Structure 1
């Protein structure tokens, strides 16, 4: 892995940890008890990491889990750990030449279903897990995708991130 990618990954991991620590308890974090939270831009680090590599995306997801566990609860931290799942899958799709907007779109159901299913072992019923958290996560994912696309295009313009190579699509 390139040094530049490690540094950017470290910065994104730090941001993933800091977002819940800073935004928690403010109007920027919506809480619907017992297990759903939505913090504005909390998916941005994981989503941007998909444009770097699967390893970086997984690392940033672990950082997000740490931040949410420290600030909110182990249950919300477990939900955040699923960012490693959709991030890793999205990064593989991006590496294979899929446009970033499409990566964000195809990872929406993966993300929502992962966050919903992780609640079942904690004793949440299907309504709370699949409807409240699953649907809520899908909406939150799409809102954060819009924010992330804006940042992504700026970082590509500044040559910090690269667009996917079309040559890898074979």
Structure 2
């Protein structure tokens, strides 16, 4: 049991470090007023979801702390909102395997929706006093839909890694 805890902490630490480094080092990024998109930035979190819920939560909190130290509060808050899809997705994966392409695509779509909605909601809550109808539509497009697309792409990068490491078999 002790070795399992050490393994979880080690995996979470390594994945958290990757989750912090990828947005800093990755040259492929899009920075907009309401959001940022860095290719592969969610890959460590998606990999952690397949390991177990504890590791997934530690990685989500680790990346949140990294962003809180190095980025504006709104970016850290968006990272904190990852706890929602991480817990839901990881708990689902505790009970189910993605045995077919269809199940993988459906899971990816559901997680992307939860991810996009969570980021949209957290930014809306933090800016509620100053939000205008134009800003609301920008939040919906860039944070809601944009994050969904970003999530779909990053999961599609993470899933072959998960399969290669046999993390998809709990």
TM over 0.5: yes
The question of whether the paired residues in 1 share the 8 Å contact of 2:120 and 2:144 is answered with: yes
Match of 1:108 in 2: 112
Matched, 1:17 2:10: no
Q: Which runs of 5+ in 2 are unaligned?
A: none
Instruction: State the SS of the aligned residue for 2:51.
Output: coil
Deviation at 1:162, TM superposition (A): 4.6
Deviation at 1:67, TM superposition (A): 2.9
Structure 1 outlier segments of 4+, above 6 Å? none
The question of whether the paired residues in 1 share the 8 Å contact of 2:8 and 2:54 is answered with: no
Structure in which a larger fraction of residues adopt helix:
2
The question of whether the paired residues in 2 share the 8 Å contact of 1:108 and 1:142 is answered with: yes
Q: Which runs of 5+ in 1 are unaligned?
A: 165-170
Instruction: State the SS of the aligned residue for 1:134.
Output: helix
Instruction: State the SS of the aligned residue for 2:50.
Output: coil
Q: 1:135 aligns with which of 134, 145, 148?
A: 145
Match of 1:28 in 2: 28
Deviation at 1:51, TM superposition (A): 0.7
Tell which has more relative contact order, 1 or 2 (C-alpha 8 A, sep 6+).
Answer: 2
Deviation at 1:72, TM superposition (A): 3.2
Deviation at 1:79, TM superposition (A): 0.6
Structure 2 Cα separation of the partners of residues 162 and 139 of structure 1: 23
Matched length: 156
Q: Deviations over 1:44-93 (max 9, x none)?
A: 01101111111211111112223333443110111111122111111000
The question of whether the paired residues in 2 share the 8 Å contact of 1:117 and 1:130 is answered with: no
Q: 2:9 aligns with which of 6, 13, 30?
A: 6
Task: Give the stretch that moved more between structures: 14-23 or 86-95.
Answer: 14-23
Deviation at 1:21, TM superposition (A): 2.7
Q: Which aligned pairs between 1:148-159 and structure 2 lie closer than 5 A?
A: 148-156=158-166
Task: Give the stretch that moved more between structures: 41-50 or 125-134.
Answer: 125-134
Normalised by the length of structure 1, the TM-score is: 0.83
Q: What RMSD over aligned residues (CA atoms) do the two structures have, in Å?
A: 1.9
The question of whether the paired residues in 1 share the 8 Å contact of 2:97 and 2:169 is answered with: no
